[in-house]
Amino acid sequence: MGTLDSRLDGRLDNKVALVTGIGAGMGTGIARAYAEAGATVVGADIDEGAGRAVMDTLGGPHRFVRGDVAQVAECEGLVADVVAGNGRIDVLVNNAGVTKSLGFFDVTEADWDRIYSVNARGLFFLMQAAARAMREQGGGRIVNIASIAGKGYRGTSNVAYAGTKGAVIAMTRISASQLARFGINVNSICPGVTRTALFEQVIGELIERTGVTREQAEANAVKSIPLRRANDPEDIAALAVYLASDAARNVTGQSWNVDGGLQWD
């Protein structure tokens, strides 16, 4: 898909947003959508080459900063960098995430620790660091990228990943409750099947593990979707813009599915 509808232009004027995992997929889509909507975007990624390439396409006041959200000190450093360089942080999008295609008996301790370190622990400590800054400035918005895997979607890549995304949904709700008095809104987006590099990775692993063709693997990925199409990153980005905008000023603690109708809750 192309750029977002021009009706989103100006929704995020004068806002400073930190978006993690911007080197590909949903992170790239969200960074571009935020820039189009008027925000100043600081894009973070562990892959410096990929991250800089994306942010260079945005130009203007937008910039890249390298960071590994699996490291708590780097979570704090990312927020400090944004505040030092831009004076404030109005929006955090916790998008960075990892997974792999694994059967129940294939999940190792190393897999578990890596997936949780990024998807759950890193997400929380980055949220905590951003909330400290937002509390001092009088408010802000946090958008956590969860997944319908966290609501029990059977087609998830593995049980550990599903557990992290369930944790994101729960942390979003509790954080929204505890941060509301500081004017901080916290919501999560739960994508379904989405065409990203992560999607391509999982498709490749399924092909290798099960021996099906690529066409069969992709067909299997979308056949259960009522609308019969996977998300594009822009589908997630449009909701991320709304949740960061003044239009969502009274929305907090929610987990929004974007999945073509796969999950009802």
Reduce the DSSP state of residue 16 to 3 states and report it. strand
In angstroms, rounded to a whole number, what is the distance separating the alpha carbons of residues 131 and 90? 10
The amino acid present at 34, given as its one-letter code, is: Y
Token pair for residue 91?
Answer: 């929006």
CB atoms within 10 A of CB 87: 10
Across 90-128, b (16+ Cβ under 10 Å) vs e yields bbbbbbbbbbbbbeeeebeeebbebbbbbbbbbbbbbbe
Q: Give the DSSP per-residue string, 180-241.
A: GGGTEEEEEEEE-SB-SHHHHHHHHHHHHHH---HHHHHHHHHTT-TT--PBPHHHHHHHHH
Active site residue 116: no
Is residue 66 packed enough to be buried (19+ CB in 10 Å), middle (13-18) or exposed (0-12)? middle
In angstroms, rounded to a whole number, what is the distance separating the alpha carbons of residues 129 and 254? 21
* DSSP tag of 7: G
Residues 34, 116, 153, 161: which is the catalytic one? 161
The amino acid present at 56, given as its one-letter code, is: D
Cα dist from 147 to 67, 103, 155, 210, 255, whole Å:
22, 18, 11, 24, 9
Catalytic residues: 161
